[in-house]
Each structure stands twice: as C-alpha cells, then as structure tokens.
Structure 1
Amino acid sequence: MFKLINDDCFNLMKTIPDNCIDLILTDPPYNIAQYSTGNIFLPKRKPINNDIANWDKNSINPHNLVYDFKRILKPTGNIFIFTGYNKLGQWHEAFDKEFDTFQIFIWHKTNPPPKIYKNGFLNSCELIVCLWNKGHTWNFSTQKEMHNFFECPICSYPERLKSPYHPTQKPIKLLKHLISIASNPKDLIFDPFMGVGSTGIASLELNRRFAGCEINKTYFKACFDRLNSVYH
C-alpha cells in the first residue's frame, strides 16, 4: 500500500498525525550546486553533471525539520537522511541533542564519476545521518554485515530512469539494506523528498507500506507510475 502527495513537504507534515511513522528515509537537496564550476564537457560522451539541478539550489534548513520529524516518528522509529559534506554540521547541530544517537553511515559508490583533471580524490562516498532513541527497531544480523558502511554501484540502466532523468536517484539495493535493518514488514516508511520514488519501490518490495511527498510534478508522476507498476 502506498500514498503519494504532490506538495511541499513542509505543508504536508503539518497534517500528519503524531507517532505514526516507523522510518523516515529521505534524500533532501544537498545544496552543492552553489560550489559548481559548471558541467565538464567531454568528446564522444555526455557531459559530467556538476551543476546537479536547479532544485538543488534551494537550501534546506535542518532546524526546520526537527519538530515535525520528532512529532510524527514513533518512539520505536528511526531516521536516515542522505546529505553532503557541506551540510553535515547543520544536521548535527539541529538533531544531535534531540535523539539518543546521531551516527553517520557511509555509502561507498563502486563506480563513481572519473576525476577528469586528476587533481583530487574521486567523489566515491556519500553520507547518511542516522538518528534513533533507545528501544528503536533494529534488525541486527551479523557483526560482519552491520558495519556503518555499504558498497554498491550508483544507479545505471535499466534501474535509472531516462525520462525524467533524476541526477541523484539512489540505488534500490542500498535503500533495501537500510529499510531491512531499521523497520519490519507492514511498517510505514515516509520519504518527504521522494524524487522519482526509489524509497517507495524498495519499501513495497520488502512488504512495507509507503508514504511519500514530492513537490516537482514531473518527478511525482514518474514516482506514481513506478510504484503503480509494483503495487496495483
């Protein structure tokens, strides 16, 4: 079962009842487009996208999410938030004092974009903020599998959508790993910045319920079509 809303999540969350969400798993804009020096154009291949997208220029203030995230989350719930290095301090400042645990999970991309000018490290890691209180849902498997580190490729075809193209679409394999650990079957997963719906796909395939919000109409339609193909 899923419920999708085409709206600004800051408006939507005001209407969500208290203590009803089992897991918030989301990927807000990183606001890294401000550091871009422009796309890198290469012969015989698509440009490397350094500009991300216009929506990435909209800065999300983590402090504005604290109240509603805490209010709608169940006492046993968890929160996972993808973020960039430039905003990590803001997430820590806003949320560290609000939860018993503030941890960082690393996604290591095994096929990151190449470093064309060979003047620094490849951007092969992304950060995920992890938040929970004592008594939270947690499906611990083995010591070997429970590192705060996960390796998998970035999205490629056919998983990656060609139209509409979403520059930060996350792989289903990674999302399933997080959802399996931090929730149980029939739990309700919420993504307030759902993009083209990868969190929803992962949730439904793991027998979870999903609620998502997306302000962009084109992405919203793509998300609805994807989820409808999984759950009629």
Structure 2
Amino acid sequence: MHPLPCNTVLLGDCIEQMQRLAAGSVDFILTDPPYLVRYRDRSGRTVANDNNARWLKPAFAEMHRVLKPGGLCVSFYGWDHAGEFLDAWRAAGFRIVGHLVLCKPYASSRRFLRHHHEQAYLLAKGKAPCPARPVSDVMPWDYTGNRLHPTQKPVAPLQALIESFSKPGDLVLDPFCGSGSTLVAAKAVGRRFLGIELDKQHQFTASMRVNAME
C-alpha cells in the first residue's frame, strides 16, 4: 500500500484510488454518490456515472474496507433507487444505524409530490459507539445555487455530521467529493480530509476551495 494521503483531493476513479489505501485507515466517511437517476440540471450539466450502477457495490466494498472497525459512514442516496443502495451497503458489510432527512426551503422538483428534502443513511462498520452529542435526524438545508457543481451540498449540515461522528484530527474521506463541500466542512472543524473525484474540473474546484481556507 502507498503512504496514506491526507488533506488533498485525488483525481481518478474512487475504486482504484481506495484500493491503494490501507484497510482501516479512515475514521469517518461522508459522501454524496451519484443517485442513478440520469440527473441533468437546467443548464444541461450531468453527474458522471449517474447513468449506471456498475460502480455501486465495488465502491462501497472499498469504503467498508478502508473504514476503521467501529467507524461510521453517512451516504446520501436516490430515494427511487433505495433498494440498490441498501443491497450494496449490506453486501459490503455495513450495518444500518440511522436515517437522515435534510429539509429544503424550496422544491427541487415537482412530480407526484413537491420534493423538499434530501436523504442519507448512517452506516456502521461493526459495533460503533454512539456519539456524545447525537445530531437530530431532521436537519435544515441551505440553498447553494449549485454554482460549483450540479448537485452541490451545503457545508453547514455536513459540518454538524462531521463534528458528531468524528474527533479532531480524524481522517474524513469523501470518495465522490464533487466540489469539495465535505472537505471544506472537515477542515473547518479540525479534521484531516481526503477527497477523490473523477471529473478534472470538479477536482480542481475542490482543491481550490480547501486551499483557499489557509
């Protein structure tokens, strides 16, 4: 295995990059993978690998391997493909220990319902200790305008999750880091971070965001 990288954003396929990491080397994972919905925003931007699920099981298998025993993972997911995500998490060995709803002040889409939330599961590797200060399973969501990424997440709720589920100095991994919101949140609260991003422009954006915090 290569020396453990940290406080950086790696460019490339997250499965290949995680295979280079030692088992049990990551303290906490917080990630927003593609939802498998072929997403396209109003300006035509898309998300890499959002049109297939070939990466789903091998990516979460690697996440489980690199996470320390007793560690936690928060993963966003697409509600209309929940079964595929649940199958991948369980196949990897994760135990489901919680569910999060992040409430939006606006509807991101309107079909049978107005969609006013994002959702994530809290997953554990083995027997994980409960946090000293658990966060609510319903959290507020700030509008980012998706200026830096078509599915850009706000920093504030990610920061609250990192503070609850990790300790200062811990290594936080985001294998689908996009524009780097998880990494910004981790750095803001004194955690080490490691991002992986397939798209070169988004990898550059994420790197610039965390470097600007110096």
1:194-213 residue CA offsets vs partner (Å, 9 max, x unmatched): 01101000000000000011
Q: 2:106 aligns with which of 111, 128, 148?
A: 111
Q: Structure 1: 5+ residue runs without aligned partners?
A: 40-47
SS of corresponding position for 2:156: helix
Shift of 1:190: 0.4
Aligned to 1:171: 154
**Partner residue in 2 for 1:84:** 78
**Which residue of structure 2 aligns with residue 205 of structure 1?**
188
Are the aligned partners of 2:70 and 2:127 in contact in 1 as well (CA < 8 Å)? yes
Structure 1 stretches of 4+ moved >4 Å: none
Aligned pairs for 1:59-70 within 5 A: 59-60=52-53, 61-70=55-64
**Match of residue 29 from structure 2:** 24
Gap regions ≥5 residues in structure 2: 1-5
Is contact 2:64–2:125 with CA below 8 Å preserved after alignment? no
Partner of 2:3: none
Q: CA RMSD in A?
A: 2.3
Contact persistence 1:6–1:215 (CA under 8 A): yes
Residue 11, structure 1, aligned to residue 6, structure 2: no
Cα pair distance change 1:101/1:31, threshold 3 Å: closer
More moved, 119-128 vs 179-188: 119-128
1:136 is the counterpart of 2:124: no
- TM-score where L is the length of structure 1: 0.80
Work out which of the two has the higher radius of gyration on C-alpha atoms and give 1 or 2. Answer: 1
Cα 1:127–1:54 shift into 2, 3 Å: closer
What SS does structure 1 have at the residue aligned with 2:121? Answer: strand
User: How many pairs were matched up?
Assistant: 207
Letter matched to residue 110 of structure 1? P
Which residue of 2 is the match for residue 122 of structure 1? 114
After superposition, give the CA deviation of every residue in 1:41-90 in whole Å (9 maximum; x if it has no partner). xxxxxxx46x6515254324432224312211101311111111122111
In structure 2, distance between residues paired with 1:201 and 1:89: 30
Pairing partner for 1:152 from 141, 151, 165: 141
TM-score if structure 2 supplies the norm length? Answer: 0.86
> What does residue 189 of structure 1 align with?
172
Q: Verify: 1:55 aligned to 2:38, yes or no.
A: no
Question: Deviation per CA, 1:89-110, whole angstroms, max 9, x where unpaired?
Answer: 1121222362343432111112
Deviations 1:210-231 (A, max 9, x none): 0011111111111111110113
Contact 1:3 1:211 (8 Å CA) reproduced: yes
Residues 37 and 51 of structure 2 are in contact (CA less than 8 Å); yes or no, is this contact kept in structure 1?
A: no
AA in 2 matched with 1:82:
F
